[in-house]
Amino acid sequence: MSAGSARPDRLIRCPSGDLLLDVRDDGPVDGEPVLLLHGFPQDGTSWSRVASVLHAAGLRTLVPDQRGYAPGARPAGRRAYRLELLVRDAVALLDAAGLERAHVVGHDWGGIVAWALAAQHPERTASLTVASVPHPRALARSLTRSPQALRSAYVAAFQLPRLPESLLGPRLEDLLRRSGLPAAEAARCAARMREPGALTGALNWYRALPLSGLRTGPVDVPTTYVWGSRDAALGRRAAELTAEHVRGPYRFVELDAGHWLPETRAGELAGLVLERAGRVVA
């Protein structure tokens, strides 16, 4: 098989501390690498439509099931899900793949990791594309300057032990469908969250927030932020404030869409990633 051939069965077993992350390594092996970071309560398959467009354009994708989602990476306790450790996982992934840097793309919680990775490790970040979630400091500021605190009330509820799992688990598929996630993806996510420890691991990202804060610094790398104007969880004020926290070349793209951009607006999102990678978009 030639060096440029697509090999969809590649898998990297990425050690990060005492955890083992599963990372799908797809597309042309000699293509520019793109790291795709998923959100809650998804896994790496949420990027399937985006990744297929990137592969067709000659890019390589690295797609992990992140800490709490991968069966070999579900540590107990919220301290194990601090943002600094989530960023460490991403750096360990690049190291395991033998990559100096990659174009970094994140959605939802994966977007928060992407913002922090770009701010803390610009030398590892060729470009940044974030979908839905604004820069963490913009989000924090919007809590007192807009209705964002009401939109984010569920985050406080998730801090409780055990009760969110018992209430959310049986209703998750229906809640995801009602929020605009396509039915097939909602069913798949709900099934994955029924695996032992999976929902607790995913919720621990929220429970670690008081230990992590939203202290991510400014971003100097070329950045595109994509926001859906019908996103029920994330409002306009934080989206607009994000520009103040990017010092590199910046583009803000507003879509007439909801929260689940990788699944519902894959073509447009992939096109924006390709623009940041310097590829001509047809």
pLDDT, tens only, 231-244: 999 999 999 999 99
Band (214; pLDDT cuts 50, 70, 90):
low
Q: Residues 90-145: pLDDT tens digits?
A: 999 999 999 999 999 999 999 999 999 999 999 999 999 999 999 999 999 999 88
Collapsing DSSP states into helix, strand and coil, what is residue 50? helix
**pLDDT band, very low/low/confident/very high, at 212 (cuts 50, 70, 90):** confident
Q: What is the pLDDT of residues 39-70, one digit of tens each?
A: 999 999 999 999 999 999 999 999 999 999 99
pLDDT of residue 10: 79
Digit-coded pLDDT (tens) for 139-174 = 999 998 899 999 999 999 999 999 999 999 999 999
Q: In which band, very low, low, confident or very high, does the pLDDT at 17 lie, cut at 50, 70 and 90?
A: confident
Structure tokens at 108: 């939802």
Q: Check if 206 is active-site.
A: yes
**CA-to-CA separations, 189 to 43, 202, 256, 269, in angstroms, rounded:** 8, 11, 24, 21
Please answer whether residues 91 and 71 qualify as being in contact, where contact means their C-beta atoms are separated by less than 8 angstroms.
no
- In the structure, what pLDDT confidence band is assigned to residue 9 with cuts at 50, 70 and 90? low
pLDDT at 2 over 50: no
Could you tell me which residues are beta bridge partners of residue 102? 125
Q: Sign of dihedral through CA atoms 227, 230, 236, 238? A: negative
What pLDDT score does 22 carry? Answer: 87
Whether pLDDT at 4 is above 60: no
Average pLDDT over all residues of the chain? 93
Which region among 12-21, 59-68, 79-88, 242-251 has the lowest average model confidence (pLDDT)? 12-21
Is 254 in a helix, a strand, or coil?
strand
Q: Residues 135, 206, 225, 231: which is the catalytic one?
A: 206
Using the predicted structure, report yes or no on whether residue 8 has a pLDDT greater than 50: no
Phi and psi at residue 252, to the nearest 5°: -110, 125
Region 252-257 average pLDDT: 98
pLDDT of residue 260: 98
By the 8 A CB rule, do 145 and 237 touch? yes
pLDDT tier at 11, thresholds 50, 70, 90: confident
Confidence band for 3, pLDDT divided at 50, 70 and 90? very low
DSSP state of 173: H
Q: Which of 43, 65, 108, 231 does the annotation list as catalytic?
A: 108
Q: Which domains does the chain have, with CATH numbers?
A: 11-276 (3.40.50.1820)
pTM: 0.94
**Is 108 a residue of the active site?**
yes
pLDDT at residue 5, as a whole number: 40
Q: What pLDDT is stored for residue 280 in this prediction?
A: 59
Gap between the Cα atoms of 261 and 263, Å rounded: 5
**DSSP code, position 124:** G
